[in-house]
């Protein structure tokens, strides 16, 4: 039997900027008791693992303020703009961050980036048949772009050197699609 739903008794906005919204809810639990619940909301997001050829992917590195580090590789990712399709957002992020357009985008996953207090849905793609385009990062992006072998990226993912959840999930899906899960590793 599925869990019984919680209901929102009241909700009040706490903070908002162009990327983030925070609200505080009073929620009634199935047992009738009420609890305080904080919710952080973001626009839905996309990520593309772009294959330059069968064995190489294009990755980025940038300073990640929250973790105070800039040495980890990740795939191009970003938010879906209002009214933008997820495929258009994926192409836009790919062009902005690495200067490529995908001739084919294969959707591999829709997932919740956090399941408890953050409301954000991630859409993940694998990009193929890349062609060059002008990279125009947005004003907050200072990126290093690199071409890495997929095998190296997979190894970095398994070793937790790559920690970005969007990249980890996309890399593991790509490995699965390439037959990695059934091979003798």
Q: What is the pLDDT at residue 95?
A: 96
pLDDT over 70 percentage in the chain: 97
Regions of the chain short of the pLDDT cut 50: 182-185
Q: What is the pLDDT at residue 181?
A: 53
Q: What is the pLDDT at residue 124?
A: 98
Nearest to 130 by CA among 51, 48, 75: 51
Enumerate helices (H) and strands (E) in the chain, giving the number of each. 3, 10
Q: What is the pLDDT at residue 135?
A: 79
CATH value of 43-180 in 3.50.50.60, 3.40.50.10190, 3.90.79.10, 3.30.565.10: 3.90.79.10
Q: Taking CA 71 as the corner, what is the angle to CA 47 and CA 45, rounded to the nearest 5 degrees?
A: 15
Per-domain boundaries in the chain: 7-41, 43-180
Q: What is the pLDDT at residue 182?
A: 47
């Amino acid at each position: 039997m599925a869990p019984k739903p919680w209901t929102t008794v009241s909700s009040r906005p706490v903070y908002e900027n162009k990327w983030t919204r925070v609200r505080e809810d009073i929620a009634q639990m199935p047992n009738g008791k009420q609890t305080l619940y904080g919710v952080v909301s973001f626009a839905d997001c996309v990520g593309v693992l772009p294959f330059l050829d069968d064995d190489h992917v294009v990755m980025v590195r940038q300073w990640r303020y929250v973790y105070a580090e800039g040495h980890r590789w990740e795939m191009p990712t970003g938010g879906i703009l209002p009214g933008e399709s997820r495929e258009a957002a994926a192409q836009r992020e790919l062009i902005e961050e690495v200067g490529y357009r995908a001739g084919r985008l294969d959707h591999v996953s829709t997932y919740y980036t956090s399941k408890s207090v953050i409301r954000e849905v991630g859409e993940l793609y694998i990009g193929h048949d890349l062609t060059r385009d002008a990279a125009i990062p947005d004003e907050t992006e200072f990126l290093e772009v690199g071409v890495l072998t997929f095998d190296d990226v997979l190894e970095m993912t398994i070793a937790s050197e790559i920690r970005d959840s969007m990249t980890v999930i996309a890399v593991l899906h790509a490995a699965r699609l390439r037959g990695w899960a059934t091979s003798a590793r």
